[in-house]
Amino acid sequence: MTDHVRPEEHADPVAAVLSARRTGAALSLTTSGSTGPTPRRVLRTTESWWGCFPAYSDLTGVRRGARVWVPGTLRSTMNLFAAVHAAWAGAELVAGAQSATHACLTPAQLERRGSDLPAGARIVVAGAGLPDGVAAAARQRGLRIDHYYGAAELSFVAASDAGDGRLRPFPGVEVEVRDEPVTGTIWVRSDWVCDGYDGPPGSLRRAEDGWASVGDLGRLDGSVLTVLGRPDAVVTAGATVLVSDVEAVLHPVARGTVVVHGVPHPSLGEVVAVTLTDGRDRAGLEHVARARLPVSHRPRVWRVVPELPLTEAGKVDRAALGR
């Protein structure tokens, strides 16, 4: 198998993937975090997607007759997977939210556009974390939410299959958290992991025994996985502050979305900043930060915005926030 199909180069990316399945070609897919003129690409077999389809149907309820809304570009692996799965399942892709029975959204898209969906719609949210306040607001509007965590390189890792919002290993996936004692690196082993990169390497690490990681941090309590995200850092006055350490303290007590990032400072290099979507969170979060974070980790800049800037893939654009 030497041919590589780049779906976004075709007029119909979904049809290009379906054709690759028939011919046995591999897929070369851009990662959602790619920026610049040469995006990073991963190689994977179509079987690494098709093998997930039955479990994804069970998670999302997308079957024949469903009307699926997938906003955003099909250059995003998450969106393209959902669209191809809909074709496999006999579901219909719809252009607008109002006629949808199902939707595939990032947490930021859910907060911004979830109100466009009719009551009773079922949403699968893809991302490391789903803020409790955002999920609660969606449920109050009569939406059903399912949640999964994965990566372009790893495919599915964990999903909230018990209806309690807690992530547990996706069917067919083994999960370990290493380098503990408290927080470690998430490693997975499954048939759904990609075959490597098409071009420059990225964050994927692979062991000889089949375990793989992209460097995301998390905790594993029994079978429940808590994902803290990539170890992005803010270097301020010589101290290295992991974004995940600050977000882990602030997220559980926020109504809206909380994004921790760095902003330039003329003498300190950077300072820790927090951008919120719900102004009611600010006072409480400032109190929590003073009480539970060391001085080096306490945000110095607080912002409230009506909506967060998003990348083309629908994720929060941290680079834009840091400008």
The answer to whether residue 1 scores a pLDDT higher than 80 is no
Answer yes or no: is 205 within a domain. Answer: no
- Ramachandran region of residue 233, left (φ > 0), alpha (ψ -120 to 50) or beta? beta
- Quick: pLDDT tens for 88-100: 999 999 999 999 9
The answer to whether residue 249 scores a pLDDT higher than 80 is yes
Whether residues 42 and 120 fall in one domain: yes
Answer yes or no: is 245 within a domain. Answer: yes
- Quick: pLDDT tens for 216-234: 888 899 999 988 777 787 8
Q: Which residue has the higher pLDDT, 313 or 321?
A: 321
pLDDT band at 2 (very low <50, low <70, confident <90, very high): low
How many helices and strands (H and E) does the chain possess?
9, 22
Give the closest residue to 242 by CA, choosing from 230, 257, 259. Answer: 230
Whether residues 238 and 126 fall in one domain: no
pLDDT band at 238 (very low <50, low <70, confident <90, very high): low
Whether residues 156 and 263 fall in one domain: no
Answer yes or no: is 86 within a domain. Answer: yes
pLDDT for the residue numbered 24: 94
In DSSP notation, 171-201 reads TT-EEEEES-SSSEEEEEE-TTS--EESSS-
Owning domain of residue 56: 4-170
Highest mean pLDDT among 100-104, 253-257, 310-314: 100-104
Answer yes or no: is 125 within a domain. Answer: yes
Answer yes or no: is 214 within a domain. Answer: no
Whether residues 108 and 246 fall in one domain: no
- Quick: pLDDT tens for 268-280: 788 999 999 999 9
Which CATH number is 273's domain given? 3.30.300.30
Answer yes or no: is 21 within a domain. Answer: yes
Answer yes or no: is 199 within a domain. Answer: no
Domain count, the chain: 2
Whether residues 258 and 119 fall in one domain: no
Euclidean distance between CA atoms 109 and 323, whole angstroms: 22
Whether residues 14 and 135 fall in one domain: yes
CA distance from start to end of the chain = 44
Which CATH number is 13's domain given? 3.40.50.12780
Which of these three, 170, 204, 219, is where a domain ends? 170
Which of these three, 117, 137, 170, is where a domain ends? 170
Whether residues 21 and 126 fall in one domain: yes
pLDDT for the residue numbered 105: 92
Rg of the Cα trace of the chain? 20
pLDDT for the residue numbered 161: 67
Which of these three, 144, 170, 196, is where a domain ends? 170
Whether residues 135 and 238 fall in one domain: no
Average pLDDT over residues 114-122: 94
Q: Which residues contact 290 (CB under 8 A, 6 or more apart)?
A: 298
**Tokens read off for 230:** 């990539």
